Amino acid sequence: MSDNGGDSGDGAPVPRALVAGHGEFAVGIVSAVEQITGRGGVLVALTNRGLGADEIVRTLRDAVASAGAHVIFTDLPAGSWTIAARRVQRDRPDVVVVTGANLPALLDFVFQTHCSNDEAARHSADKGRGAMVVLGSSGGSAGGAD
């Protein structure tokens, strides 16, 4: 077990994960994590706005190296960030990629401070999947059973 909830020694949180998405997805979701928990600093937001495929890979490689993060959350399973993350994984097998990132997953991740990043990523993915709920019915019947 490792303590992944520390700071850099100057009071700044140590980044643990990158959050990469289309448009302002990552900035918005990291902002929400910060507003809810005050722990948004352990996440680094990345956008692909204005970047081509090679630039996305380069940006991600640089971010992994500079942040020291070993977890990458992406917005879409087959999106440009996930494709880039899989390329980064070829050279960095210590990197874990979580696709389909959502707010419940990231909220869970930032509180998983006493386990490995790999365990935290897997736990948060389970929480994110479990948070998906369909309310109501397209058929209009109570309870959703037809």
CATH of the domain at 60: 3.40.50.510
Domain housing 48 = 17-144
Residue 38 lies in a domain: yes
Residue 78 lies in a domain: yes
Residue 10 lies in a domain: no
- CA dist., res. 58 & res. 74, Å (int): 16
Each residue's pLDDT tens digit, 85-131: 999 999 999 999 999 999 999 999 999 999 999 999 999 999 999 99
Least confident of 9-13, 24-28, 61-65, 116-120: 9-13
**How far are the Cα atoms of 18, 35, 70, 122, 135 from residue 65, in angstroms, in the given order?**
11, 27, 9, 22, 42
- Locate tokens 């990158």: which residue? 18
pLDDT range class, residue 4, cuts 50, 70, 90: low
- Contact in structure between 133 and 17 (CB atoms under 8 Å): no
Tally the domains of the chain: 1
Between residues 141 and 109, which one has the greater pLDDT? Answer: 109
